[in-house]
Amino acid sequence: TDRKKLHTAPVGQVFRLRPFHVLIATGGGYAGYRKYEDYKLEQLEKRGIEVPVKLASEWEVALYKSVPTRLLSRAWGRLNQVELPTWLRKPVYSLYIWTFGVNMKEAAVEDLHHYRNLSEFFRRKLKPQARPVCCVHSVISPSDGKILNFGQVKNCEVEQVKGVTYSLESFLGPRISTEEMHFSQAPPGNSFQQQLVTKEGNELYHCVIYLAPGDYHCFHSPTDWTVSHRRHFPGSLMSVNPGVARWIKELFCHNERVVLTGDWKHGFFSLTAVGATNVGSIRIYFDQDLHTNSPSYSKGSYNDFSFISNNNKEGIPMRKGEHLGEFNLGSTIVLIFEAPKDFKFNLKAGQKIRFGEALGSL
């Protein structure tokens, strides 16, 4: 009779599952499963076995999108800013170097104790002569990475990897007004692709470069050109590694991206920095108004910014090899540009490339 009564809650209240928790658990588990599948595909490719294309269904894409990658990427960004104790820096960075094969002998500062946090380590600069810029070819690689695909744009479709495409207009967005471009525009009745080609006899070309986590994270100007416009697409932050790019059609159109457009000596030129998981932060050095991976955004929206004003009639001139921007972790760069029909790429799909090496020329 002296014992106290034990009050218990109903079992249903103790084990109550909220929809958000279900999405996290289900989406996270499925993402892990996909990572394992990607690993198996990579092993088959290394053995020279051709892997058939198998695209994700709509429900699979929706399930993947249910993972809060934007929130996780912002959390990762904050974690990167945390200053590490001096004694912990070398073990942490050494593990990263070993995992992703980073070559620290190319870094301007090789001493690991110099980098106060992961963010500084990711954005490390290279020694001046580590990446000589090719002077012979007209277009160079803007970054270190792996060539996923390249070639002519056909039927308003661009290949993100072999056999998997995305819409050119969905990727770049509506055509920019003629007032913001320096060259005459094609008649509006033509297709979107034809409207971008401004000179008779030219073709539209593309090149996709994937930056792995161990690559140099800055990107540079691939040629001499003038940037006149920036378009920012808020969006998902799904992984962009080759396995996922092979699995999700129009992956680059789903993800957050920053499109820089302008012109070079042969006409239209664009460079797009595509965000990915843990790469919500995309920085363009001359664009202080750009803020990526914002907590609030409208799905399918985009915002434009023109670098042409009353005080600047020309836009932002960029020299080949000049610093342009940076990622916080590996991601993807897509070049889409106009050039004469005799333009030739000096590339092979799947090859590793470094910033400053030739992409192609006339």
| 26-51 mean pLDDT | 60
**Residue 339 predicted with pLDDT over 70:** yes
Q: Provide the pLDDT for residue 267.
A: 94
Q: pLDDT tens for residues 111-151?
A: 999 999 888 888 888 998 889 998 888 999 999 999 989 99
CA dist 277 to 196, 266, 283, 293, Å?
Answer: 31, 35, 16, 11
Name the band, by pLDDT with cuts 50, 70 and 90, for residue 222. very high
Prediction pTM value: 0.81
The residue that leads in pLDDT, 271 or 199, is 271
Identify the band that residue 292 occupies on the pLDDT scale cut at 50, 70 and 90.
confident
Which of the residues are catalytic? 144, 220, 331
Read off the pLDDT band of 27 (50, 70, 90): very low
Comparing CA positions, the residue from 116, 124, 172 lying closest to residue 144 is: 124
Instruction: For helices 19-46 and 58-65, give the axis angle rounded to 10 degrees.
Output: 110
CA distance 338 to 78: 39
**pLDDT class of 172 with cuts at 50, 70, 90:** very high
> H/E element holding 11?
helix 11-14
**Range in 47-51, 102-106, 280-284 the model is least confident about:** 47-51
Cα-flanking dihedrals φ and ψ of residue 348, to 5°?
A: -130, 135
Q: Say whether pLDDT at 253 is over 60.
A: yes
CA distance 142 to 357: 9
How many CA atoms within 13 Å lie on the side-chain side of 2? Answer: 0
CB-CB contact of 229 with 306 (8 Å): yes
Parallel, antiparallel, or unpaired: how do β-strands 352-353 and 145-152 relate? antiparallel
* Residue 23, pLDDT score: 44
